[in-house]
Protein backbone atom coordinates (compact mmCIF):
# COMPACT_ATOMS: atom_id res chain seq x y z
CA UNK A 1 0.00 0.00 0.00
CA UNK A 2 2.69 2.46 1.07
CA UNK A 3 4.92 1.43 -1.82
CA UNK A 4 2.12 1.84 -4.31
CA UNK A 5 1.42 5.30 -2.91
CA UNK A 6 5.10 6.24 -3.22
CA UNK A 7 5.35 5.02 -6.80
CA UNK A 8 2.19 6.90 -7.69
CA UNK A 9 3.59 10.07 -6.10
CA UNK A 10 6.82 9.69 -8.07
CA UNK A 11 4.98 9.15 -11.34
CA UNK A 12 2.72 12.14 -10.73
CA UNK A 13 5.70 14.35 -9.92
CA UNK A 14 7.50 13.23 -13.08
CA UNK A 15 4.53 13.77 -15.37
CA UNK A 16 3.64 17.06 -13.75
CA UNK A 17 7.19 18.35 -14.10
CA UNK A 18 7.16 17.55 -17.82
CA UNK A 19 3.80 19.30 -18.16
CA UNK A 20 4.99 22.43 -16.35
CA UNK A 21 8.21 22.53 -18.36
CA UNK A 22 6.19 22.46 -21.57
CA UNK A 23 3.21 24.65 -20.72
CA UNK A 24 4.39 27.17 -18.13
CA UNK A 25 5.72 29.71 -20.63
CA UNK A 26 2.49 29.96 -22.56
CA UNK A 27 0.31 29.92 -19.44
CA UNK A 28 2.47 32.59 -17.80
CA UNK A 29 2.04 34.77 -20.86
CA UNK A 30 -1.72 34.24 -20.85
CA UNK A 31 -1.94 35.07 -17.14
CA UNK A 32 0.13 38.22 -17.61
CA UNK A 33 -2.13 39.31 -20.46
CA UNK A 34 -5.18 38.72 -18.24
CA UNK A 35 -3.90 40.82 -15.37
CA UNK A 36 -2.50 43.47 -17.78
CA UNK A 37 0.74 43.61 -15.86
CA UNK A 38 4.19 44.29 -17.27
CA UNK A 39 6.01 41.12 -18.43
CA UNK A 40 8.81 41.47 -15.88
CA UNK A 41 6.66 42.71 -12.99
CA UNK A 42 3.66 40.41 -12.71
CA UNK A 43 3.02 39.30 -9.12
CA UNK A 44 -0.71 38.87 -9.63
CA UNK A 45 -0.26 36.72 -12.71
CA UNK A 46 2.26 34.57 -10.86
CA UNK A 47 -0.13 34.07 -7.96
CA UNK A 48 -2.96 33.13 -10.33
CA UNK A 49 -0.82 30.68 -12.26
CA UNK A 50 0.67 29.09 -9.14
CA UNK A 51 -2.83 28.49 -7.75
CA UNK A 52 -4.01 27.05 -11.07
CA UNK A 53 -1.00 24.72 -11.36
CA UNK A 54 -1.36 23.60 -7.74
CA UNK A 55 -4.98 22.73 -8.48
CA UNK A 56 -3.94 20.77 -11.58
CA UNK A 57 -1.36 18.89 -9.51
CA UNK A 58 -3.99 18.01 -6.93
CA UNK A 59 -6.40 16.58 -9.53
CA UNK A 60 -3.65 14.97 -11.65
CA UNK A 61 -4.51 11.36 -10.74
CA UNK A 62 -8.17 11.91 -11.57
CA UNK A 63 -7.73 13.52 -14.99
CA UNK A 64 -8.43 10.24 -16.87
CA UNK A 65 -7.17 11.37 -20.25
CA UNK A 66 -8.43 14.93 -19.94
CA UNK A 67 -5.95 17.54 -21.15
CA UNK A 68 -4.17 19.08 -18.13
CA UNK A 69 -3.53 22.25 -20.15
CA UNK A 70 -7.27 22.72 -20.71
CA UNK A 71 -7.92 22.10 -17.06
CA UNK A 72 -5.32 24.63 -15.92
CA UNK A 73 -6.53 27.24 -18.40
CA UNK A 74 -10.11 26.78 -17.26
CA UNK A 75 -9.13 27.16 -13.61
CA UNK A 76 -7.08 30.23 -14.49
CA UNK A 77 -9.96 31.86 -16.37
CA UNK A 78 -12.54 31.15 -13.69
CA UNK A 79 -10.23 32.28 -10.87
CA UNK A 80 -9.47 35.47 -12.77
CA UNK A 81 -13.18 36.12 -13.41
CA UNK A 82 -13.95 35.59 -9.73
CA UNK A 83 -11.05 37.80 -8.66
CA UNK A 84 -12.08 40.53 -11.08
CA UNK A 85 -15.59 40.33 -9.67
CA UNK A 86 -14.33 40.94 -6.15
CA UNK A 87 -11.79 43.53 -7.12
CA UNK A 88 -13.84 45.61 -9.51
CA UNK A 89 -17.36 44.94 -8.27
CA UNK A 90 -18.72 43.08 -11.26
CA UNK A 91 -17.39 41.95 -14.58
CA UNK A 92 -17.20 44.59 -17.25
CA UNK A 93 -17.57 47.43 -14.80
CA UNK A 94 -14.00 48.52 -14.46
CA UNK A 95 -13.56 51.68 -12.52
CA UNK A 96 -10.96 53.74 -14.32
CA UNK A 97 -9.21 54.57 -11.05
CA UNK A 98 -8.80 50.97 -9.97
CA UNK A 99 -7.06 49.81 -13.14
CA UNK A 100 -3.39 48.98 -12.82
CA UNK A 101 -1.55 52.02 -14.00
CA UNK A 102 1.70 50.75 -15.51
CA UNK A 103 -0.10 48.37 -17.80
CA UNK A 104 0.86 45.73 -20.28
CA UNK A 105 -0.54 45.42 -23.79
CA UNK A 106 -4.17 45.07 -22.72
CA UNK A 107 -4.37 47.67 -19.99
CA UNK A 108 -6.80 49.77 -22.04
CA UNK A 109 -9.42 47.01 -21.74
CA UNK A 110 -11.70 46.02 -18.87
CA UNK A 111 -10.98 42.70 -17.07
CA UNK A 112 -13.97 41.11 -18.75
CA UNK A 113 -12.84 42.16 -22.21
CA UNK A 114 -9.30 40.97 -21.50
CA UNK A 115 -10.54 37.58 -20.36
CA UNK A 116 -12.65 36.98 -23.44
CA UNK A 117 -10.03 38.38 -25.83
CA UNK A 118 -7.27 36.22 -24.37
CA UNK A 119 -9.42 33.09 -24.42
CA UNK A 120 -10.61 33.66 -27.99
CA UNK A 121 -7.60 35.22 -29.71
CA UNK A 122 -4.54 34.09 -27.75
CA UNK A 123 -5.69 30.64 -26.65
CA UNK A 124 -7.94 30.02 -29.63
CA UNK A 125 -10.82 28.68 -27.54
CA UNK A 126 -14.03 28.28 -29.56
CA UNK A 127 -16.79 30.80 -28.96
CA UNK A 128 -19.22 28.23 -27.52
CA UNK A 129 -16.59 26.74 -25.27
CA UNK A 130 -15.58 30.14 -23.89
CA UNK A 131 -19.25 30.99 -23.37
CA UNK A 132 -19.80 27.74 -21.46
CA UNK A 133 -16.69 28.31 -19.37
CA UNK A 134 -17.87 31.77 -18.30
CA UNK A 135 -21.60 30.97 -18.19
CA UNK A 136 -22.45 33.60 -20.78
CA UNK A 137 -24.46 33.44 -24.01
CA UNK A 138 -22.29 32.94 -27.11
CA UNK A 139 -23.60 36.15 -28.71
CA UNK A 140 -22.36 38.10 -25.73
CA UNK A 141 -18.91 36.55 -26.04
CA UNK A 142 -18.83 37.49 -29.73
CA UNK A 143 -19.93 41.05 -29.02
CA UNK A 144 -17.44 41.59 -26.19
CA UNK A 145 -14.65 40.09 -28.29
CA UNK A 146 -15.44 42.39 -31.22
CA UNK A 147 -15.55 45.41 -28.94
CA UNK A 148 -12.27 44.45 -27.29
CA UNK A 149 -10.60 44.03 -30.68
CA UNK A 150 -11.84 47.40 -31.81
CA UNK A 151 -10.62 49.07 -28.61
CA UNK A 152 -7.25 47.36 -28.87
CA UNK A 153 -6.66 48.31 -32.51
CA UNK A 154 -7.94 51.87 -32.11
CA UNK A 155 -7.30 52.82 -28.49
CA UNK A 156 -9.41 55.74 -27.34
CA UNK A 157 -7.52 58.89 -26.59
CA UNK A 158 -7.42 60.01 -22.98
CA UNK A 159 -10.83 61.37 -22.15
CA UNK A 160 -10.67 65.06 -21.39
CA UNK A 161 -11.49 65.99 -17.82
CA UNK A 162 -14.17 68.42 -18.88
CA UNK A 163 -16.49 66.91 -21.46
CA UNK A 164 -17.59 70.11 -23.14
CA UNK A 165 -17.74 73.73 -22.26
CA UNK A 166 -21.24 74.97 -22.54
CA UNK A 167 -21.07 78.09 -24.58
CA UNK A 168 -22.63 80.99 -22.75
CA UNK A 169 -25.63 82.22 -24.60
CA UNK B 1 -7.21 38.44 -46.87
CA UNK B 2 -10.55 39.74 -45.65
CA UNK B 3 -10.60 42.74 -43.32
CA UNK B 4 -11.87 40.60 -40.44
CA UNK B 5 -9.01 38.14 -40.82
CA UNK B 6 -6.53 40.98 -41.07
CA UNK B 7 -7.85 42.49 -37.86
CA UNK B 8 -7.66 39.13 -36.10
CA UNK B 9 -4.10 38.61 -37.31
CA UNK B 10 -3.19 42.08 -36.10
CA UNK B 11 -4.70 41.41 -32.65
CA UNK B 12 -2.91 38.04 -32.44
CA UNK B 13 0.37 39.73 -33.28
CA UNK B 14 -0.23 42.32 -30.54
CA UNK B 15 -0.97 39.55 -28.04
CA UNK B 16 2.13 37.51 -28.89
CA UNK B 17 4.61 40.28 -28.34
CA UNK B 18 5.93 40.51 -24.78
CA UNK B 19 7.04 37.14 -23.42
CA UNK B 20 7.21 37.18 -19.61
CA UNK B 21 9.89 35.00 -18.02
CA UNK B 22 8.72 31.94 -16.10
CA UNK B 23 9.61 32.26 -12.39
CA UNK B 24 12.11 29.53 -11.44
CA UNK B 25 10.23 28.43 -8.31
CA UNK B 26 6.89 28.00 -10.09
CA UNK B 27 7.08 24.20 -10.27
CA UNK B 28 8.24 23.75 -6.67
CA UNK B 29 5.59 26.10 -5.32
CA UNK B 30 2.81 24.47 -7.34
CA UNK B 31 3.86 21.00 -6.15
CA UNK B 32 4.04 22.20 -2.54
CA UNK B 33 0.57 23.74 -2.60
CA UNK B 34 -0.94 20.98 -4.71
CA UNK B 35 0.54 18.35 -2.39
CA UNK B 36 -0.95 20.12 0.59
CA UNK B 37 -4.35 20.14 -1.12
CA UNK B 38 -4.03 16.41 -1.85
CA UNK B 39 -3.10 15.59 1.74
CA UNK B 40 -6.02 17.62 3.06
CA UNK B 41 -8.41 15.91 0.70
CA UNK B 42 -7.08 12.51 1.68
CA UNK B 43 -7.45 13.37 5.39
CA UNK B 44 -11.02 14.59 4.81
CA UNK B 45 -11.89 11.39 2.97
CA UNK B 46 -10.39 9.29 5.76
CA UNK B 47 -12.37 11.23 8.37
CA UNK B 48 -15.57 10.71 6.37
CA UNK B 49 -15.01 6.96 6.15
CA UNK B 50 -14.23 6.81 9.85
CA UNK B 51 -17.49 8.62 10.64
CA UNK B 52 -19.49 6.29 8.37
CA UNK B 53 -17.98 3.18 9.98
CA UNK B 54 -18.52 4.60 13.48
CA UNK B 55 -22.17 5.34 12.69
CA UNK B 56 -22.69 1.80 11.34
CA UNK B 57 -21.12 0.24 14.44
CA UNK B 58 -23.18 2.43 16.74
CA UNK B 59 -26.36 1.48 14.88
CA UNK B 60 -25.52 -2.23 15.04
CA UNK B 61 -24.85 -2.08 18.78
CA UNK B 62 -28.03 -0.13 19.45
CA UNK B 63 -30.10 -2.51 17.32
CA UNK B 64 -28.73 -5.62 19.04
CA UNK B 65 -29.43 -4.12 22.46
CA UNK B 66 -32.84 -2.55 21.80
CA UNK B 67 -34.07 -5.18 19.28
CA UNK B 68 -36.72 -2.89 17.79
CA UNK B 69 -38.05 -5.68 15.55
CA UNK B 70 -39.34 -7.71 18.53
CA UNK B 71 -42.97 -7.00 19.28
CA UNK B 72 -43.10 -5.23 22.64
CA UNK B 73 -45.28 -6.83 25.34
CA UNK B 74 -48.76 -5.38 25.32
CA UNK B 75 -49.36 -2.69 27.89
CA UNK B 76 -52.91 -1.58 27.15
CA UNK B 77 -54.80 -4.76 28.08
CA UNK B 78 -54.62 -5.61 31.78
CA UNK B 79 -53.24 -9.07 32.45
CA UNK B 80 -55.90 -11.69 32.85
CA UNK B 81 -55.69 -12.90 36.43
CA UNK B 82 -57.93 -14.62 38.96
CA UNK B 83 -60.59 -16.52 37.02
Say yes or no for a CB contact (<8 Å) between A57 and B30.
yes
What are the sequence ranges of the domains in chain A?
A: 2-153
Global pTM reads 0.77
Nearest to B17 among A57, A105, A152 (CB): A105
Q: Are B15 and A121 in contact (CB under 8 A)?
A: yes
Q: Which CATH number fits domain A2-153: 1.20.140.160, 3.10.20.90, 3.40.50.360, 2.60.120.200?
A: 1.20.140.160
Question: What sections of A36-137 are H helices per DSSP?
Answer: 43-58, 68-88, 111-117, 127-134
Question: Å from B54 to nearest chain A CA?
Answer: 23
Task: Give how far A152 is from chain B: nearest CA, Å.
Answer: 7
Which member of B19, B37, B41 has the closest CB to residue A29? B19
Buried b (16+ CB within 10 A) or exposed e, A57-77: bbbbeeeeeeebeebbbbbbb
**pLDDT computed for residue A87 by the predictor:** 63
pLDDT at B16: 84
Per-residue pLDDT, A85: 67
Give the pLDDT score at A1.
76
Stretches where chain A sits below pLDDT 70 are: 85-102, 157-169
User: Which residues of chain B are modeled with pLDDT < 50?
Assistant: none
Query: Can you give the pLDDT at residue B71?
Result: 84
Residue A47: which of A9, A87, A76, A19 has the closest Cα? A76
pLDDT given for residue A2 in this prediction: 84
Q: Does A147 touch chain B (CB under 8 A)?
A: no
Count CB atoms within 10 A of the CB of residue A159.
8
Provide, as residue numbers in chain A, all residues whose Cβ is less than 8 Å from the Cβ of B16.
Answer: 122
Amino acid sequence: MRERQASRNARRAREFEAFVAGAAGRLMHAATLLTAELPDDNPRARRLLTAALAHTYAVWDGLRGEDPYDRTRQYLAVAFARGAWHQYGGLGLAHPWSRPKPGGTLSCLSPHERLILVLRMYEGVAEEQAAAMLALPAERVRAVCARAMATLLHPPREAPAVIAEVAPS
Amino acid sequence: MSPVNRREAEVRRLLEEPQPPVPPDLYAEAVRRGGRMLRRRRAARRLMWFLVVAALVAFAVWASVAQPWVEPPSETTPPLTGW
